Chain A
């Protein structure tokens, strides 16, 4: 107590202290405005870890700082929309569903491929005018062989009683989920956009509604805990579960595996273009993709010079990539709001 009483500060000292605190609070803004580094939005979890570990040193070698900021694709869009003209990210990482929204709302810009040394290493289908494709996410079904038999496809999950109460689903906000639902709509309805058939299916199988959660990340935790045995996933999700020592297997649905390219986009109004291009170039370089193709991420490489690992080839080969199911995101985006609201109300009962 005496020490506290002895502590005195003059008005001038307090002024300096306050000024110091204010100045230190401004530091991030100052660093941000300096234009020496890029802030790259990346999916949280294994993506964030991998990109930080692999790409940050490579971008540093190119003379720029790189900040990897974790955010789901929808959150990236929401944050960019919240600050038009002064985007919190220089680049975004997203699939075609969100890319269509970003283009429609004028949030991203076309890139200049001449600024990317590794551009020529990409297959033309991976050379998007709004940014390069860094990997293809191949989706399917993850299952725990200790708890359930290998599913044949989506129909099996609803018709085989072995899966009753052991399958987890997510809402229509998730790209993985919406791709699975369009496939289920094809099986049980008249086409990929016949979601009434999907909603009816869930109404007829209320045991499936019990396992609906918010995100794939949450499903990974539940899978780890043995709470669920099946969920809709990407090959990357299964690779990550396996790297944790879990008994997880991936199965291609008999009707085909939905796939989604993952692209890096340049935000409109980015103040750090050179650093953003350096980051993009690093992400499509052989050096980076040679590391990112290894467990636990096992990302499918889009750089032609990168050989597939046996682990990735067990899921998908380069030839199979062309035969995957690529949903019509324009049609999905047109209906998505309505589907989200209807499904949420259905799940809540």
Chain B
């Protein structure tokens, strides 16, 4: 069966080699390039500078914070979709997809208005008496996480909806009849069901956030430096491509490790029961 199917996957395999594996190999090759042959010098330079290591940690933290934020927002929306009628479902799908049709750059610049001193958040804080004077959340990590959560929210909602759409709503009623409370139903029934969708969403959100150059640069400002900005600086300003390649490989490996860990989690039987 496998042998007969091979010719059909061949074009995709060739495309993958040509447009994914080869550029990746070039990138890795660049990261070891030195005047006298292969060298680890660029990796040593990257890890030798405490500033770079801090940038790497900042990037991972930003990804994790966004994953937490999108999960807290996305799960209730997905559950609302699951329990909702046809009209509510259409509205929720519409509201989820519409932002994705708008350019990331436009959405990012809209956040400048929202997070600025004269924006709705600042006005609400002043109006509620929480701050005495207008406050700007621009160039802060909190502001950046808020923007990233909005931008990446569809990436977690859509996999959750895909999972929940295949699950009968009566499942919660059955659990209720069996005596389970809402919290128990959520933890023992819904969460294991949603976990494959959550894992897919977490991978997408983490990868998207940690590589979101425009939003990081515009909302985070120059004080919050993340790995994509570091790569851009090395390529576009300092023209140090081997170091840029080494940084890119480090980012790729960090994200890859998380991906592998999450994939292994998704195969863990105890997490998903016997579903």
Contacts and interface: CB of A to CB of B under 8 A. Distances in A.
Interface of A: 72, 74-75, 77-78, 81, 101, 170-171, 173, 209-214, 218, 221-222, 225-227, 337, 340-341, 344-345, 347-349
B104 to A, nearest CB: 15
Nearest to B140: A210
B235 interface: yes
Contacts of B150: none
13 contacts: A78-B239, A81-B239, A101-B239, A173-B237, A212-B222, A213-B222, A214-B217, A214-B229, A222-B138, A226-B116, A347-B223, A347-B225, A348-B223
B223 A349 contact: yes
B225 A344 contact: yes
Contact of B116 (A171, A225, A337, A348): A225
A227 B138 contact: yes
Interface of B: 51, 54-55, 109, 112-113, 116-118, 136, 138-139, 217-218, 221-225, 229, 233, 235-240
Given A225-B112, A341-B238, 16 more contacts: A74-B236, A78-B236, A101-B239, A173-B236, A209-B223, A210-B139, A213-B222, A214-B218, A214-B222, A214-B229, A226-B116, A226-B117, A227-B112, A344-B222, A348-B222, A348-B224
A194 to B, nearest CB: 21
Contact of A340 (B136, B217, B233, B235): B233
A341 B109 CA distance: 27
Contacts of A226: 116-118
A337 B218 CA distance: 23
Given A226-B117, A227-B117, A340 B223 contact: no
B235 to A, nearest CB: 6
B18 to A, nearest CB: 13
Nearest to B240: A337
A83 B235 CA distance: 14
Nearest to B139: A210
A146 to B, nearest CB: 13
Nearest to B55: A348
B130 to A, nearest CB: 20
Contacts of B139: 210-211, 213
B118 A225 contact: yes
A347 B222 contact: yes
A78 B136 CA distance: 35
B239 A173 contact: no
A255 B253 CA distance: 50
Contacts of B136: 227
Contacts of B225: 344, 347-348
A170 B222 CA distance: 8
B190 to A, nearest CB: 31
A221 B237 contact: no
Contacts of B109: 221
A227 B139 CA distance: 11
Contacts of B240: 337
A173 B217 CA distance: 14
Nearest to B54: A348
A342 to B, nearest CB: 10
Contacts of A213: 139, 221-222
A218 to B, nearest CB: 6
B26 to A, nearest CB: 11
Contacts of A348: 51, 54-55, 222-225
Given A227-B117, A227-B136, A74 B237 contact: yes
A225 B236 contact: no
Nearest to A224: B112
B117 to A, nearest CB: 6
